[in-house]
Amino acid sequence: MDTKNLEQSFLTHFNTKPEFIVRAPGRVNLIGEHTDYNDGFVLPMAIDRAVWIALSPRTDSQVRIHSLDSSNAVESDLGSDSAFDLHSLTKGKGWAEYIKGVAYQLQNAGHNLRGFDAIMTGDVPRGAGLSSSAAVELAAARAFAVVSGFEWDAAQMARLAQKAENEWVGVNCGIMDQMASAACKAGHALFLDCRSLEYQLAPLPHGTAVVILDTSTRRGLVDSAYNERRNQCEEAARWFGVKALRDVSVAEFETRTKENNDLNANAFKRARHIVTENARVLEAVEAMKQNDIKKLGELFNASHNSLRDDFEVTNEALNQIVACAQEQSNCYGARMTGAGFGGCAVALVREEHAEEFTNAVSAAYRQRSGLEASVYVCKASDGADIIQR
């Protein structure tokens, strides 16, 4: 992003130049879908689309943030008169709630926060399953850290941002989005154990482009379907006698369900997806270490089939765009990514043919669905950081 426009907007709005610019990226999950809230394994990658905040510290506890994107992001433009006092936070509506939630959790964790004036903007598509909300949360955490002088701990900030979304905003998300936005490194995906929060970096295969395919359909009101699947996973975990489905191996799943399969049919299918998906993540990490692009692509395809048939969280548009991608000779594999019911797919493509691939998939998807896809060729980026002091 050209930060000059952000700086100019800050100057126009606050009549001075910003002292800092921070950023936090969105993410695409390469593989490991719906495994995070089952204490499982995920493999997200931070993308080169992010939220940026230009800011200057204040001497009091007031936070004033103007969003350049608010006409599309919130119900009203909060602007410079939207100041809130960190010591008397109250819940409201709009994008500011993510920032308030982060401030509240940081204070609960013992951080003495300083206020700031800020201009915020971003280019993470909203509602597409690319974690625009986590990007806002981690950018806010970075902003509070830089003005308040406390040390940046990626895992701790991710936990607090997740708590902000769970408890303040009221979205019962897992930890993956926040960890990806906080801790990823350029050129790598983040192999994350969602139970322990231990993570390691997995290098992207040489000569491979990661392409995000936005179906132009959005999830809509699917909270009940999401919660239903969580409940079905918990039902299956109780049936297996474990804390979470992460504790069931593929071999154990096959043996137990063959011997005595009185598990509810839907819970059985949800569990089969989670158990096999966790195994696919582990295989994917090894494939990346071995630079085995072919194997990685096969795992992508298998993951999509499982999400479609066992977890049942795709929609017609996702299935169409994945099929369009898989039909291209330059595609190693493709799958839906994110919560599902709309949003995006992700494909692994030969880097030198990425433009050819995007044109072909866009045309095929338009013909098949009548919809226009937005296609992003992405680079693996760093997690939340300070880009200007």
Q: In angstroms, rounded to a whole number, what is the distance separating the alpha carbons of residues 373 and 292?
A: 29
Q: In angstroms, rounded to a whole number, what is the distance separating the alpha carbons of residues 73 and 76?
A: 9
177 is catalytic: yes
- CA dihedral sign, ordered 127, 131, 137, 142: negative
285 φ, ψ (degrees, to nearest 5): -60, -45
Give the pairing of strands 199-203 and 374-378: unpaired
Q: Exposure pattern of 294-324 as b/e (b: 16+ CB <10 Å)?
A: ebbbbbbbbbbebbbebbebbbebbbbbbbb
What does the block give as tokens for 382?
């760093």
Catalytic residue among 36, 117, 177, 214: 177
Q: What type of residue is 312?
A: E
Cα 375 from chain centre: 17
Residue 241, number of CB atoms within 10 A of its CB = 9
CA-closest candidate to residue 335, choices 177, 215, 221, 223: 215
Q: In angstroms, rounded to a whole number, what is the distance separating the alpha carbons of residues 47 and 189?
A: 10
What 3-state DSSP class applies to 373? coil
User: Which residues are known catalytic residues?
Assistant: 177
